[in-house]
Copies of this chain bind each other. A is one copy, B any other.
Amino acid sequence: MGENGESEIIEHHDDEEMEKIRTPRNHSHSFLESVTSSDKDGYSSTQSSHRLLAYSDALISIIATVMILPVAHTKFQDNEELKQSIQALLTTKVAVYLMTFLIVTVAWAAHIRLFQVIERIDDTLALLNLACMMLITFLPYTFSLMATFPNNILGILLFCACVMVIGLIQALIVLYGFGRPFLLNDQIQMSENQAYYKRRILEVIMRVPIMCLFASIFSVIYIPLSYIILAIVIFLPYISQCLKWIRSKAIGGQVEDSPDSVPFYTYHPSEPLSKERVEAFSDGVYAIVATLLILDICEDNVPDPSVVKKEFDDNLIIALQEYGPEYLAYFGSFATVGLLWFVHHSLFLHVTKATRLMGLFNTFSLAFVGGLPLAYQLTHEFPRGSRNELEAVQISCVIIFFAGLFQLAMWVTALFTERETLHPYVRYGGREHAFMLAKLSLYPCVALGAFVFTCVLSRFSTSIFHMMEIGVPFAFLILRLVVRVALAIIRWLFCPVRNDLDSVPVEDEDLQLPINDIVT
């Protein structure tokens, strides 16, 4: 603890020290600032923004994920086909969940970019940020309204009003930040043309609110048009990113920006995202998803004392046996989410820089992870051996497969620019490369295998699924051993070629140091 506390203090002091050094460079402001009392006071209360961002990440990740609950709470009629109920579900609730997840991650990405420009905060900025968060957490409700009343303009108007107010607050934050330059990012603080940056950032921030203004105006005239505008707002950044990345890979050698431009607000697929915040957001989503089912279990699976007395002859154990599959669903869901977090954790341990494209794949992966509790709940809602049960198990497999696949995609994306984004260990030819590949591909492979097995042996679908649940944690425990054996076999088969690739000289140092120490 002492270490943490101290580094915090040091950081705190460092910040102030650096501000003292930095502020004078701005010759036009520095003297005035140090003299006028109000500015100096604002300056003395300057804080590191770290915890504010962590709290915002927690709020946003919760909001992004809880909208799966209305989906999960929909009761399925067992007598009709699962396909029908799934279709009824898809039209509204799943759409609300996905829309919320995407818009909230768009808002989150904007929040990251904003606080990459404004690196230090004070009390006023903290309060403005809280107001912004309050409106973001209200967005899912506007989506619920839109999905339930697609022909009523109220949902659209509410949504647009929220987005416009959020935009105004963000613009206010930018103006406030540029009014007190010691709050800004160092690069902008030292730059000559702050006014240009201010205008450029404000332009990007106000783009979405202005589109929402148009959407709200058009909603009075022709509602479908405003939905199209909203869809553009939500999906355009994602689509344009994908297209740009594909183009840059196809043509090769992307156009460089002018040297003066900031790396923020460019919408470049290789624009850096704060790695720390991607981790915090992902942690929040994984934590919420892992615990969503215990909520239902605590509320629904405690039998009524009178029922136990009447129907089960006061024998609680027999009464609870009815809920057996639900406990299994809880532990299975917790284990799967926990292990997917573990894979994510292992990956980000070796990632040195997160780009926007990696963030995009991360979002897709998290959106599937958010669907997991629903999938697990489905697996125990239907009687054994029914066709519905088979389909529920298969949907679970598909969700796990895609959640794992997008994690793998993150790593593959990182490998394309491995010098900037990856730690040497996991680069191609690095010591941990094969192990990381095995870790990332374990879940997609297992899920795919389970899916194929359930197609062939449809009678045993649940058993196969439960075997998978129980087997995977142990697979992770012995994975390192398996990979080493596999590598040894490959080396033995194809002669010692890999030694040349092992160019990282860390291992030698490991061996030398202790010996030196003993000698001296």
Among B30, B290, B423, B432, the residue within 8 A (CB) of A517 is: B30
User: A294: which of B3, B138, B298, B302 is its contact (CB, 8 Å)?
Assistant: B138
| Chain B residues near A30 (CB-CB < 8 A) | 514, 517-518
- How far in angstroms is the closest Cβ of chain B from A434? 13
Contact indicator B280/A54 (Cβ below 8 Å): yes
- Number of A interface residues in the complex (CB < 8 A): 116
User: Which of chain B's residues has its CB closest to A130's CB?
Assistant: B338
Distance in angstroms between the alpha carbons of A197 and B59 in the assembled complex: 40
A283 within 8 A of B: yes
Contact bitstring A309-337, B, C-beta under 8 A = 1, else 0: 00000001100100000000011001100
A480 and B294 in contact (CB under 8 A), knowing A4-B276, A352-B5? no
Q: Is A126 an interface residue, CB under 8 A from the partner?
A: yes
Interface presence of A272 (CB below 8 A)? yes
Query: Do B140 and A298 have beta carbons less than 8 Å apart?
Result: yes
CB of A371 within 8 Å of the partner chain: no
Contact between chains at A294 and B66 (CB < 8 Å): yes
- A250 on the interface (CB 8 Å rule)? no
Q: Given the known inter-chain contacts A62-B288, A290-B59, please indicate yes or no for A9 contacting B423, CB distance below 8 A.
A: yes
Residues in B with CB closer than 8 Å to A1 are 112, 116, 272-276, 353-354
Against B, the Cβ 8 Å flags (1 = close, 0 = not) of A224-262 are 000000000000000000000000000000000000000
28 contacts between A and B (CB under 8 A): A1-B112, A1-B272, A1-B353, A2-B353, A8-B276, A9-B423, A12-B349, A20-B513, A27-B518, A33-B514, A44-B432, A45-B432, A58-B58, A59-B291, A69-B295, A123-B342, A123-B476, A123-B480, A127-B473, A127-B476, A130-B341, A130-B342, A137-B291, A141-B298, A145-B316, A148-B305, A149-B316, A152-B316
6 pairs of A and B residues whose beta carbons are closest in the complex: A58-B287, A24-B517, A1-B274, A130-B338, A34-B514, A1-B272
Apart from the given pairs A34-B510, A40-B510, A126-B342, 7 other A-B contacts in the complex at a CB distance below 8 Å: A2-B272, A2-B353, A20-B513, A30-B518, A44-B432, A62-B287, A70-B299
